């Protein structure tokens, strides 16, 4: 018998947002989540004696994230501006990072002239191939890889333009207590409205026809409904048929899965280290370098003694099979070079350490989405419901400049719920 339920697969920001919107309108909703806990790529670990948790997933609010702010306000969760100066470490010496930014006007000038979409590498080869532009090339690629987790050989340069134009580096915030406070709020709202959240359920197959869908889990359970919103990350949907972790559809969805494969899904390793004392400049915000873990940041303006390391994009490949303990060693070694300090001494002052390789996480398989030149409209293709029955949502299925963020996930979840409600 077909249940009147609406199914949602995935209890990250997108799935919980969709569930709440539907339940508020009186729909019966069941959420199936692969992990034992909700939050997905929002993953905070409480830090004893500190109000700031160790944030292994999302951490910042980037610029004008309207829906995020709206939800934080309604939940009474505070957020604060991040602060601090940016440094670049060269040969163990910290320099003002400002000098590295001088190239951007020239880069943007050329970008403004571009009418056709090409990859970032093609763009740099076309306009900045000469030796005199070496630093510009390095700087731009570092930003695309570090910030967007993108592969310069695939990413659409026009999509970067759109995103970077909107990006407001001056207005970056952190949620007090971490983004998991927002997840808690959404989850509580869902539960209060009668949503059933079932954790530990890994969906591997969907049987569907118009007005009917059955989600089958790897332990053989079947959940039937009239409609489903699928918020499984693109990294998981990209797993090839027949490989472990793949998600299949009967009948198949060649157009939607073609769009999934055409989208970029970057890699990231995030390392969070707490020391017994600060050995970095008090005013430091971000510290960039050419070390293997190249980007580091402090918790400024908080006096916390936590440093966070970040490696994103294709360079993650070099470290992809390293266990957490080795990643922490590598991170300490990178820090010892950045600050010209003995890595053994740094290790002795280490109080807590976490390293998370999101590419190895079976339920994310990477960091977040970027737009490629292969199919710039892939997000729109995926955003179209299949026969008013299958709806895709999540950070990658979002049409604005905030692609890849918590805001994108929330917006996409709300949009999918609205589509379900209005039947288009």
Ligand X SMILES: Cc1cc2nc3c(=O)[nH]c(=O)nc-3n(C[C@H](O)[C@H](O)[C@H](O)COP(=O)(O)OP(=O)(O)OC[C@H]3O[C@@H](n4cnc5c(N)ncnc54)[C@H](O)[C@@H]3O)c2cc1C
Q: Which residues of this protein are in contact with ligand X, per CB under 6 A?
A: 9-15, 32-35, 40-42, 57-60, 62, 202-203, 231-233, 236, 247, 268, 270, 358, 363-364, 367-368, 394-395, 404-409
What does the DSSP 8-state code read for residue 98?
Answer: G
- Which residue, 205 or 337, has its beta carbon nearer to ligand X? 205
Please state the closest distance from residue 30 (CB atom) to ligand X, in A.
Answer: 12
N-to-C CA span, the chain: 24
- Which residue, 32 or 346, has its beta carbon nearer to ligand X? 32
- Which residue, 136 or 269, has its beta carbon nearer to ligand X? 269
> Nearest to residue 331, comparing CAs of 295, 293, 299?
293
- Which residue, 47 or 58, has its beta carbon nearer to ligand X? 58
Please state the closest distance from residue 278 (CB atom) to ligand X, in A.
Answer: 22
Please state the closest distance from residue 57 (CB atom) to ligand X, in A.
Answer: 5
220 CB burial (10 A radius; 0-12, 13-18, 19+): exposed
Q: Give the position of tokens 């951490």.
A: 59
Please state the closest distance from residue 108 (CB atom) to ligand X, in A.
Answer: 24
Interhelix angle 120-127/157-166, rounded to 10 degrees, is 90
Please state the closest distance from residue 367 (CB atom) to ligand X, in A.
Answer: 4
Kindly write down the DSSP assignment for every residue of 10-69, as one continuous string: --SHHHHHHHHHHHHTT--EEEEESSSSS-TT--EE--TT-SSPEESS--EEES--HHHH
Integer Cα distance of 290 and 288 in angstroms = 7
- Which residue, 47 or 202, has its beta carbon nearer to ligand X? 202
- Which residue, 129 or 318, has its beta carbon nearer to ligand X? 318
Alpha helices for 98-208 (secondary structure H): 104-113, 120-127, 134-148, 157-166, 180-192
Q: Give the position of tokens 């006096």.
A: 303
> Nearest to residue 319, comparing CAs of 307, 334, 306, 308?
334
Kindly write down the DSSP assignment for every residue of 349-389, as one continuous string: TEEEEEEEEGGG-TTTSSS-EE-BSS-TTHHHHHHS-BTTT
- Which residue, 38 or 139, has its beta carbon nearer to ligand X? 38
Please state the closest distance from residue 215 (CB atom) to ligand X, in A.
Answer: 8
């Amino acid at each position: 018998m077909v249940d009147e339920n609406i199914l949602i697969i995935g209890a990250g920001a997108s799935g919980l947002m969709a569930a709440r919107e539907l339940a508020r309108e009186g729909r019966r909703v069941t959420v199936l989540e692969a992990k034992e806990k909700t939050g997905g790529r929002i993953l905070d670990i409480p830090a004893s004696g500190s109000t700031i948790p160790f944030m292994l997933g999302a951490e910042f609010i980037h610029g004008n994230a309207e829906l995020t702010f709206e939800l934080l306000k309604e939940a009474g969760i505070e957020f604060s501006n991040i602060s601090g100066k940016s440094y670049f470490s060269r040969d163990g010496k910290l320099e003002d990072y400002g000098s590295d930014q001088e190239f951007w006007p020239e880069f943007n000038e050329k970008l403004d002239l571009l009418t056709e979409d090409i990859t970032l590498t093609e763009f740099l080869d076309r306009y900045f191939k000469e030796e005199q532009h070496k630093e510009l090339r390095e700087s731009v690629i570092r930003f695309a890889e570090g910030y967007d987790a993108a592969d310069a050989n695939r990413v659409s340069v026009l999509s970067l333009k759109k995103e970077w134009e909107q990006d407001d580096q001056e207005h970056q915030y952190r949620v007090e207590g971490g983004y998991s406070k927002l997840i808690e709020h959404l989850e509580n709202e869902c539960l209060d409205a009668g949503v059933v959240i079932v954790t530990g359920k890994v969906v591997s197959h969907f049987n569907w026809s118009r007005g009917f869908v059955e989600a089958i889990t790897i332990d053989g359970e079947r959940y039937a409904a009239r409609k489903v919103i699928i918020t499984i990350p693109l990294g998981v949907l990209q797993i090839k048929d027949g490989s472990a972790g793949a998600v299949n559809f009967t009948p198949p969805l060649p157009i939607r899965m073609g769009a999934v494969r055409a989208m970029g899904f970057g890699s990231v390793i995030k390392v969070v280290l707490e020391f017994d004392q600060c050995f970095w400049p008090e005013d430091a915000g971000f510290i960039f370098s050419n070390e293997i873990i190249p980007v580091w940041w402090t918790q400024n303006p908080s006096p916390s003694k936590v440093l966070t390391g970040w490696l994103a994009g294709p360079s993650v490949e070099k470290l992809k099979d390293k266990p957490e303990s080795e990643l922490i060693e590598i991170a300490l070694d990178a820090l010892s070079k950045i600050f010209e300090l003995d890595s053994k001494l740094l290790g002795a002052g280490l109080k807590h350490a976490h390293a998370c390789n999101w590419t190895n996480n079976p339920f994310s398989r990477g960091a977040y989405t970027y737009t490629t030149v292969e199919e710039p409209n892939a997000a729109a293709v995926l955003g179209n419901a299949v026969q008013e029955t299958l709806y895709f949502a999540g950070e990658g299925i979002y049409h604005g400049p905030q692609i890849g963020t918590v805001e994108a996930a929330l917006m996409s979840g709300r949009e999918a719920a609205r589509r379900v409600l209005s039947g288009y």
